[in-house]
Amino acid sequence: MKIDPNDKQVSEHVRMSRRMFLGSSAALAGAAATGVGVGGSLLAPTALASTATGQVAPGELDEYYGFWSGGHSGEVRILGVPSMRELMRIPVFNTCSATGWGITNESKEVLGHTAFLNGDSHHPRMSFTDGKYDGKYVFINDKANTRVARIRCDIMKTDKITTVPNVQAIHGLRLQKVPFTKYVFANAEMIIPQPNDGRDMEDIGKYRTMFNAIDAETMEVAWQVIVDGNLDNCDADYSGKYAFSTCYNSEGGVYLTDMMRNERDHVVVFNIERIEAAVKAGKFIHLGDAKVPVLDGTKGSELTAYIPVPKNPHGMNTAPDGRYAVAAGKLSPTVTVLDLHKFDDLFNGKLSDPRGVVAAEVELGLGPLHTAFDGRGNAYTTLFIDSQIVKWDIDKAIKAYQGEKVDYILQKLDVQYQPGHNHTTMGETSEADGKYLVSLCKFSKDRFLPCGPLHAENDQLIDISGDEMKLLHDGPTFAEPHDCMIVHRSKMKPLKIWKRDDPFFASTKAMADKDGITLESDNKIIREGNKVRVYMTSVAPNFGLTEFKVKQGDEVTVTITNLDTIEDVTHGFCMVNHGVSMEISPQQTASVTFVADKPGVQWYYCNWFCHALHMEMSGRMLVEPA
Ligand code: K7E
Ligand code: CUA
Ligand code: CA
């Protein structure tokens, strides 16, 4: 028996539920639009409710988008803040069977066909214009395979991935803030022989790593600077002149005990103007096959300055006032406050000792890792060993360092347990608003129902709008969000439906053009030797082709264009027993290539719930035996 998708009863039911669904989202959009006019951009009722509880009522929208790294899951996740609801996952350095990331041709083009699919993402950062988030891109590093990826914020898909040559393990990643994000700054962490071709493996004293600048638009590596020591975290200033990185291994050791020997390691400052001038003047070398200019920034170079700071420093965070940056001591209970307004003097000969830029070096507690800011002159530093967030006053810390008797520590809040990064709403921009702080705790221990030996982490939401920090919410997260960034929703303009001319599937469209196919209407099969290209459309609940014939051993490319124009009606394509599945969202084209290696009837079906007849949205690949 055939079910008629145009059956009146069925379609009436679907129309009804769509209308209800669209009706409610339209109301929300309306409410949001009204809110925009009221003193900034928040929904007044949401703001009141969330300030009190951190909760967002069902049907209400969050005030902030949070971008979380997925650590060694390799992805990026979007959380709503303050609800801490997980809104979306963006596969980056991993495979995803729901969306087909790592499986579809479009994603393989981004990943490169030979790319590793295990990643270790740490630091998601949004592009800037004039020190403010511009809603365009989010960049993220992959420590595991020395890559940097870019996510387009209109479609929330990864659109470029760059492997950085000559180095190993990209860790710290921050962006140029001013005048705009021209460069993505990426620290390579591990020291290796240069060149690393097997020659000098035992000569540890010659191991070096590099600071890397990637062009944010082309995603090509613009230049690399060789440094002394290794590189951990980095940040940039609000003048656009400097970037700076912590180094925990100034010893140049390869064993842990060696890396802990010195009482002070350093922060290395990169002079962007001078580096650009040196590149222009041809003062660089090439290493191996890479065409990237490699410059010498080791001690004594005019491109860099080395500021000694205690001990195995980790976090490097610029305050929103543009005046100070904080290096967290990790193995020292101190943080070092650097005066960015004195950084010119590191390069013009006015300072005999680079420590002259240290504005304060004060004790906070055990294991300081990362610092966040509220835009009101306060800093919030995670204390890994003490399992606390310490709130401190930057100006008072400077006075205390100068010998005045002032208490710069305002509050210590226990968190559960052992925080790594923390992040405030808009806190890494000149628009820091001091509303919420998220503490990314590395251990959850007893905070959640036990789920076996492997534990979730615990991201805790803290209200910092008042004088006192108040814990609002525990949020379990799977391995391992090192870091997050939180951006006000007024900065974001994601698409709800794909545009037909999106460059994300331009190559697929070019292939169709060559085959004389119009993706928006054709349901056709093109054969070229043993390569078969199957083009079809989809409209809920039908594939344009309910069957197609191939021969065993054919290489089959299935390209599907989703003609639905209704928000949220995504289809899927899964070929049973072939490891093939993918997402096709409204107005998207997606394609996948596989070998039809099994004879007989092979069913395919839609695996994204799209319609009352979603189960029936299927078809047969008929494979003639070889
Ligand atoms: Cu885990 Cu930013 Cu990679 Cu600190 S890093 S904790
Ligand atoms: Cu189409 Cu489910
Ligand atoms: Ca050290």
Per-residue pLDDT of 40-76, as tens digits, reads: 333 333 444 444 456 899 999 999 999 999 999 999 9
Bond before 179 cis per omega within 30 degrees = yes
Q: What is the percent of the chain where pLDDT is above 70?
A: 91
Given the CA of residue 420, which atom of ligand 1 is nearest to it?
6
- Residue whose Cα lies nearest atom 3 of ligand 1: it is 122
Q: State how far the Cα of 312 lies from the Cα of 229, in Å rounded to an integer.
A: 11
- At residue 413, the pLDDT reads 98
Please say if the pLDDT value at position 3 is more than 70. no
Please say if the pLDDT value at position 29 is more than 70. no
Q: Check if the beta carbon of residue 613 is closer than 8 Å to that of residue 548.
A: no
| Spacing of C-alpha 370 from chain mean position | 18
Annotate 366-393 with b (16+ C-beta within 10 A) or e (fewer): bbbbbbbbbbebbbbbbbbebbbbbbbb
Please say if the pLDDT value at position 607 is more than 70. yes
Residue 488, annotated ligand binder? no
End-to-end CA distance of the chain: 32
**Residue in the block written with tokens 């079906």:** 605
Q: Is 137 helix (H, G, I), strand (E, B) or coil?
A: strand
Residues 6+ apart with CB under 8 A from 246: 172, 231, 232, 233, 234, 265, 266, 267, 309, 313, 314, 315, 316, 327
Per-residue pLDDT band at 117 (split at 50, 70, 90): confident
How distant, in Å, are the alpha carbons of 19, 30, 496 from that of 23? Answer: 6, 11, 16
- Residue whose Cα lies nearest atom 1 of ligand 1: it is 482
Return the HEC string of 290-356. CCCCEEECCCCCCCEEEEEEECCCCCEEECCCCCEEEEECCCCCEEEEEEHHHHHHHCCCCCCCHHH
Please say if the pLDDT value at position 7 is more than 90. no
- At residue 115, the pLDDT reads 74
Given the CA of residue 315, which atom of ligand 1 is nearest to it?
4
Per-residue pLDDT band at 113 (split at 50, 70, 90): confident
Given the CA of residue 143, which atom of ligand 1 is nearest to it?
3
User: Mean per-residue pLDDT for 146-159?
Assistant: 98
Cα angle 316-322-327, degrees, rounded to a multiple of 5: 20
What is the number of H-type helices and E-type strands within the chain? 7, 39
Q: State how far the Cα of 261 lies from the Cα of 33, in Å rounded to an integer.
A: 58
Residue 68, annotated ligand binder? no
Q: Check if the beta carbon of residue 126 is closer than 8 Å to that of residue 485.
A: yes
Residue 189, annotated ligand binder? no
For residue 609, give the ligand nearest its CA. Answer: 2
Given the CA of residue 480, which atom of ligand 1 is nearest to it?
1
Residue 442, annotated ligand binder? yes
Q: State how far the Cα of 403 lies from the Cα of 400, in Å rounded to an integer.
A: 5
Cα angle 148-483-189, degrees, rounded to a multiple of 5: 50
Q: Does ligand 2 lie within 6 Å of residue 448's CB atom?
A: no
- Ligand 1: residues within 6 Å at CB? 122-123, 171, 233, 314, 369-370, 420-421, 482-483
Residue 97 Cα, ligand 1 centroid: separation in angstroms? 28
User: Mean per-residue pLDDT for 383-408?
Assistant: 98
Taking all residues of the chain, what is their mean pLDDT, rounded to a whole number? 92
For residue 142, give the ligand nearest its CA. Answer: 1
Say which range, 44-48, 191-195, 470-474, has the weakest mean pLDDT: 44-48
Per-residue pLDDT band at 39 (split at 50, 70, 90): very low
Residue 314, annotated ligand binder? yes
- Residue whose Cα lies nearest atom 1 of ligand 2: it is 571
pLDDT tens digit sequence for 291-313: 999 999 999 999 999 999 999 99
**Residue in the block written with tokens 């950085």:** 164
Q: Does ligand 2 lie within 6 Å of residue 609's CB atom?
A: yes
For residue 560, give the ligand nearest its CA. Answer: 2
Q: Does ligand 2 lie within 6 Å of residue 586's CB atom?
A: no
pTM to 2 decimal places: 0.91
pLDDT tens digit sequence for 571-597: 999 999 999 999 999 999 999 999 999
User: Mean per-residue pLDDT for 451-480?
Assistant: 97
Residue 266, annotated ligand binder? no
Per-residue pLDDT band at 16 (split at 50, 70, 90): very low
pLDDT tens digit sequence for 351-395: 999 999 999 999 999 999 999 999 999 999 999 999 999 999 999
**Residue in the block written with tokens 């609940």:** 541
Residue 13, annotated ligand binder? no
The overall longest dimension of the chain from CA atoms, in Å, is 89
Sheet holding 571-575, edge to edge: 547-551, 618-624, 600-605, 571-575, 580-584
Q: State how far the Cα of 260 lies from the Cα of 272, in Å rounded to an integer.
A: 30
Return the HEC string of 77-96. EEEEECCCCEEEEECCCCCE
Given the CA of residue 569, which atom of ligand 2 is nearest to it?
1
Per-residue pLDDT band at 12 (split at 50, 70, 90): very low
Please say if the pLDDT value at position 4 is more than 50. no
Please say if the pLDDT value at position 32 is more than 80. no
For residue 315, give the ligand nearest its CA. Answer: 1
